[in-house]
Structure 1
Amino acid sequence: MGIGLTAVTDIYDNIYNEDIGEWVFTPQTITGTLTDFTIDLSFGAAGVAADYVINNVGIFDCDGDGKKDSAVDVAKKSVDSVLKDMFNW
């Protein structure tokens, strides 16, 4: 769904001319649309990959259970530990 919305937005932003209220198909508007979509899609894919790594790839064992924890796990366990120390839970 996100890819579809990105495509529609890129098409509208590049090809629809709000000043005259018409769709303008020129080599420049089509090239602009393709460029924007390619870049948007690339960054979207990089975001998905980064999200996967941050949430799923073990960095180091921060709690001594013998399993490497992800960056998200490390952050959660660190904040939890600080809060427990602050409030003596």
Structure 2
Amino acid sequence: MEWTAGAVIRPKNWPSCYPLVHHDIANDIPLHLQRIQYVAYAILLGVPISLFWNVLLSIAVFARGAAGVFVFFSIIYFFLGPMGAFYFWYRPLYRAFR
């Protein structure tokens, strides 16, 4: 933890393969809110899994004769959905609980 002009700069540690943001539920979040934050984190990790399943099923529906636009939109949503989920609901929740 560094101090710069009165502001605390926390080291970036998440995701572990390429750290982009600081994420430490055990030390940042008060004890009575940690369970809610862990559930939100589990949901955030489930978003890409469910969107990948959506891509697979839309490909299967396309193979049976439906319009190909479903595959196109499911692929776009697969790439943009997890980032949007992080920035639009998980990060504000994390910051509010911190």
TM-score (norm 1): 0.39
TM-score (norm 2): 0.36
Considering Cα pairs closer than 8 Å and 6+ residues apart, tell me whether 1 or 2 has the greater RCO: 2
Query: Higher Cα Rg: structure 1 or 2?
Result: 1
